[in-house]
Chain A
Amino acid sequence: MSTESSRDDFIIAIRSAFLKKGNRQKFSLFTLIIISILVLSLEYFKTGPINQFRSITKDIIFRGSYIVSSPFKYVKDKYYLFQDHMSMYDEYSVLRDKNLDLDSLKKEVDFYKSENALLKKLIEERELFSKEYMLTKILLDKQSPYLKSVIINKGQKYGVKLGSAVKDRLYYIGKVVNVNFLSARVLLASDLNSKIPIIIEPSGINAILSGNGNDEYAELEYLPKNNEIKENEIVYTSGSDGTIPASIPVGKIIMQGNKHYVKFFSNLNQLNYVQVNK
């Protein structure tokens, strides 16, 4: 008898939780769960009016999110500015000690560039990628251990394409993974899902750069077993995936024990403006 009544109580409690509309509640939870499932099933439509509607909704939410997070972004920027000021003297000393003859190096690079262009012409290699980049502003900086991405303020309307490479000054930082009408999402190279084909120079070894959620360095996968990679060798994009242009510098090799890591040239925490490949 008591088992039956407790079972009845249990069923009544579940029914009440799902169907009863509480004080000031306009919808029952059951109705809203059904609506959520319907909204989720719309994810299967990747084109057409549903996709356009989704794109506009995302643009509106990103703008709202930008406004809400702007005071926090301001504080963060000021914090990094303060840090930069504190380390200014040390950085100046390092730069002075390096004493690089930049002018002669630039001339050498120009010579190699023109030589490379001539050789490419000789073997009739076609340029697969555009060399044009457009400057965009970071709207949102969404960084948690499980998601490293930024939202930029240009989208489909300005010609941003899915898979385009994104640079911070000269250095590769990520690629476009989602394009809306007025905004786009860039997956940073440090994200857990980021995999980019790279080449290590001067040893010329190909590998895959895999993000591990760390802002400063990423891991290398598919390296040959008996490689002779040395510390401070430079990592460039190899362009073998057909979407990211080749020869964009990414970082340099650092060793921890027997493992190789790539330290990014760019500080992924302090991005304000980035360049997107057209």
Chain B
Amino acid sequence: MAKGNFKLYQFLLNSFPLILLFFFALTGYSLSLKFFAINISFNFIHLIVFYWVLRKPEMLGYGLIFFAGIVNDVVQNLPIGISSINYLLLCVIASFFRTRTLVPNLIYDWILFLIAILIVSSIHFSLLSIFF
């Protein structure tokens, strides 16, 4: 019985990033704050994808990230496929940093995340304004 519980716990723990990813993709929730008439929005999916691909890539499959992008596009009314490109580019950047980093550091991770977001958001904006 205890072994069964442990297995379930292990399964839930391993599926946690996946559950979180699809929860945010399906509901489209994002934290929005108004700061001096400027809207600031946090996209949790970017954070989840970047963190897990950087730290534990075996827990989040690239195929599922692609699928989460498609779901997010449908929910957010974006051209289908654009979020998948964003998330996969984020994966490329995270994967690149993973192979280049020798000693992991949380502050560096956040700085790299900001750089990655800057690149991905620029590509997202360029694609939308050029083609759609």
Contact = CB atoms under 8 A, between A and B. Distances in A.
A253 interface: no
Given A68-B27, A213-B39, A13 B61 contact: no
Contacts of A146: 39, 41
Interface residues of B, number: 42
B interface, over-half SS: helix
A interface, over-half SS: helix
Contacts of B23: 68
Contacts of A144: 28, 30, 32, 41
A43 B80 contact: yes
Interface residues of A, number: 48
Contact of B26 (A20, A36, A41, A69): A69
Nearest to B24: A68
A17 B95 contact: yes
B74 interface: yes
Interface stretch (B4-12, B63-71, B105-113): B63-71
A33 B85 contact: yes
Interface in B77-99: 77, 79-82, 84-85, 88-89, 91-93, 95-96, 99
B75 interface: yes
Contacts of B96: 13-14, 17
Nearest to B39: A145
Interface stretch (A21-29, A104-112, A128-136, A161-169): A21-29
A65 B27 contact: yes
A16 interface: yes
A6 B109 CA distance: 21
6 contacts: A22-B58, A23-B57, A25-B61, A32-B84, A61-B75, A65-B26
**Closest A-B pairs by Cβ, 4 of them:** A40-B81, A39-B81, A17-B95, A145-B39
Interface of B: 22-23, 26-28, 30, 32, 34, 39, 41, 57-58, 61-63, 65-66, 69-71, 74-77, 79-82, 84-85, 88-89, 91-93, 95-96, 99-100, 127, 131-132
Interface of A: 9, 12-14, 16-18, 20, 22-29, 32-33, 35-43, 54, 57-58, 61-62, 64-65, 68-69, 72, 140, 142, 144-147, 149, 177-178, 185, 213
